[in-house]
Amino acid sequence: MTDGAAAAGPAAPTAPAAGPRPGSADERNGEALVEVRDLKTYYPIKAGILRRTVGQVRAVDGVDFEVRRGEVFGLVGESGCGKTTLGRTIVRLEKATSGQVLLDGGDVLSFDGRDLKKMRRRMQVIFQDPVGSLNPRMPISDIIGEGLLAQADKQNGWGERKVRDKRVSDYLEVVGLRRDYTRRYPHEFSGGQRQRIGIARALALSPEFIFADEPVSALDVSIQSQILNLLIDLREQFDLTFLFVAHNLSVVQYISDRVGVMYLGKLVEMADVAELYAHPRHPYTIALLSAIPDPDPRVKSRRLVLTGDVPSPANPPSGCRFHTRCWLRRQLNNPENCETEDPPFRELASGHRVACHWAESVVDAAVADVVPTADIEVPTELPTPQDVGAPVVTEIETPSVTDVVEPAEEAAGTAGEARPEEPQGPTQGRV
């Protein structure tokens, strides 16, 4: 997948980073817009009086994928898995340690000066926290206008206040706010409205690529659905391409075309959204899907409960990083290569890549048993485990009793999202 895209992608690395888009977006949909090759972002750990570097946090540790023009690529994983760092590195808000990011073939990580400025305009970000990402001392016109001013030139005339303010109003309207809100300050808006302002700020520069970092996590369910609807509309209207990072699997399933699952700085599985949710193959993906609480009380299924916490990215486990918590490995009687060999991110089926030595031993029937949402058609004949040039692979029937707690009533699809806090009493919800 990445290989094909890499071939199709770049003409010359020095190709213009911005400028008018060649061809309409529609024609070129499906081509790689952003390619990420073996990207690594490490942070040094400093200690002692001399602040010597004693180790590294490998936040992103060798990630390969591409985001195709016009698609929504969803990235899921638990906190600390590196999904946000990956996105921030792609748009150059963090410094990459090594690897490449190509935007239409242009090497994003090597840009500076004018090229970098052009690239900033093409790649925009929507941040998670609608409170922290808007300067409380700036009116909306300045919050949205700041980027326009930075990108002003003779052609667009954004240097002029009038032109800028008109554009700000236009984009407020686009995101469903009133045109005359420009002189207001962030505190005058509710969480959902603030997130709309953040979206307007990203859109005002007419970007092609938007990195949306948990854009709905801080919102209540009823507001969350408004914002999701808005993002879907805007994507159509402006031919946008999204890298959509979230920890809520239901939201990602709803909005994405393709999905990547991250664990400890690496992609462990990537596939089309329907394929991934119906036929997950990595034991971590299966455990994630199994863990989502379902608001339908009729759904009863066994749950995979992963033991322990996510290990530290400063000192990831050897071999497969998931092996310390892996239920499949235990079922297969702890095959040795899990501990010693880092599994390659290999293509299992067309467009479906998995980083697991034993992905072939996962069968849909077993998955259906623990993932209530999957809506998996259970094959009448179970596929025989393919020979992967390895010792005898036992098919998993059902996860062993030690892995699974059997709850009385069960089901999936998270209703809502982590919110920073429940406002209590006096200060709540003043609009």
Partner 1 sequence: MTATEAARERRTGVGDVLLDVRDLRTHFEVMDGTVKAVDGVSFSLRQGGRLALVGESGCGKSVTALSIMRLIEVPPGKFAGGEILFEGRNLLKLNDREIRKVRGGEIAMIFQEPMTSLNPVMTVGDQISEAVLLHQPVNRKGAQEVALQSLVDVGVPDPKRRLKQYPFELSGGMRQRIMIAMALSCNPKLIIADEPTTALDVTIQRQILELIKNVQERTGTALLLITHDLGVVAETVDEVAVMYAGRVVETGTVEEVLLSPRHPYTRGLLESIPSQGKKGQRLSAIKGVVPNPFRMPKGCKFEPRCPYAWQAGADEEPPLFDLGPDRMSRCWLYDPRYADHLAEYEGRAPKKSAEVAS
Contacting partner 1 within 292-321 (CB under 8 A): 292-298, 303, 305-307, 309-310
Residue 248 to residue 89: CA distance in whole angstroms: 22
| Per CB under 8 A, 182 contacts partner 1 | no
Residue 116, classified by CB atoms within 10 Å of its CB into exposed (0-12), middle (13-18) or buried (19+), is middle
Q: Give the number of residues in contact with partner 1, rule: CB under 8 A.
A: 72
Q: Which helix (H) or strand (E) holds 105?
A: none
Kindly tell me which of 309 and 397 has the beta carbon lying closer to partner 1: 309
Nearest CA-CA partner of 288 in 263, 324, 311: 263
Residue 14, SS3 per DSSP: coil
Q: Compute the least distance from the CB of residue 183 to partner 1, in Å.
A: 16
Tell the smallest beta-carbon distance from residue 428 to partner 1 (Å).
4
Instruction: Please enumerate in sequence order all residues whose Cβ is within 8 A of that of 108, keeping only pairs 6 or more positions apart, or say none.
Output: 17, 90, 92, 101, 102, 119, 123
> What tokens appear for 263 in the block?
């664990």
Residue 326, SS3 per DSSP: coil
Q: How far is the CB of 287 from partner 1 (least distance, A)?
A: 6
Please report which residue ranges of 139-257 form alpha helices under DSSP H: 140-150, 161-174, 191-203, 221-238, 249-255
- Shortest Cβ 326–partner 1 spacing (Å): 12
Beta strand pairing call for 258-263 and 72-76: parallel
Q: Is 412 in the site for partner 1 (CB under 8 A)?
A: yes
Q: Which is nearer to partner 1, 309 or 377 (CB)?
A: 309
**Nearest distance from residue 412's CB to partner 1, in Å?**
7
- Which of residues 62, 139, 317, 416 is near partner 1 by CB under 8 A? 416
Question: What residues between 208 and 267 interact with partner 1 by CB under 8 A?
Answer: 220-226, 228-230, 232, 247, 249-251, 253-255
Which C-beta is closer to partner 1: that of 201 or that of 247?
Answer: 247
- Does residue 89 interact with partner 1 by CB under 8 A? no
Q: Based on the shown chain and the rule CB under 8 A, indicate whether residue 277 belongs to the binding site for partner 1.
A: yes
Q: Is 160 in the site for partner 1 (CB under 8 A)?
A: no
Cβ proximity to partner 1: between 53 and 229 the closer is 229
Kindly tell me which of 291 and 393 has the beta carbon lying closer to partner 1: 291
Tell me, what DSSP letter sits at residue 319?
S
Q: Compare residues 66 and 410 and give the one whose CB is closer to partner 1.
A: 410
Task: Indicate the angle between helix axes 161-174 and 140-150, nearest 10 degrees.
Answer: 120
- Phi, psi torsion values for 51, nearest 5 degrees: 50, 45
Mind giving me the DSSP string for 57-68? EEEEEEEEEEEE
Task: Check residue 196 for interaction with partner 1 (CB under 8 A).
Answer: yes
Choose among 198, 212, 250: nearest CA to 72.
212
Which of 89, 193, 241, 285 lies at the binding interface for partner 1 (CB under 8 A)? Answer: 193
Interaction with partner 1 in 325-384: which residues (CB under 8 A)?
A: 373, 375
